[in-house]
């Protein structure tokens, strides 16, 4: 049990090994993100949100104009 404990302490105290492991994880995440293709849906959603925002803005402006009359 003490050998396992010593190994854990050694692994935790090796900063270069930790940095290499983090770099591997980061690179793997970047590769996963790059291979994921969103297609046109991302653009469609943003355009729909933009149109919805403008409709809400004009509705609020129209409501305030009616209330001021």
pLDDT tens per residue across span 4-16: 666 666 666 677 8
**Helical packing angle, 15-35 and 2-13, nearest 10°:** 70
Q: Tell me if 44 sits within 8 A of 38, measured CB to CB.
A: no
Structural domain of 50: 39-69
Q: What is the number of structural domains in the chain?
A: 2
Q: Are residues 14 and 28 in the same domain?
A: yes
**pTM reported for the whole predicted model:** 0.45
Q: Are residues 1 and 31 in the same domain?
A: yes
Q: Are residues 6 and 24 in the same domain?
A: yes
Write the pLDDT tens digit of every residue in 2-56. Answer: 666 666 666 666 778 888 898 999 999 988 887 776 678 888 999 999 999 999 9
């Amino acid at each position: 049990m003490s050998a396992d404990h010593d190994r854990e302490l050694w692994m935790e105290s090796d900063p270069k090994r930790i940095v290499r492991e983090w770099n591997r994880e980061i690179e793997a995440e970047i590769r996963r993100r790059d291979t994921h293709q969103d297609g046109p849906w991302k653009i469609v959603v943003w355009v729909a949100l933009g149109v919805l925002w403008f409709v809400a803005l004009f509705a609020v402006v129209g409501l305030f104009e009616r209330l001021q009359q």
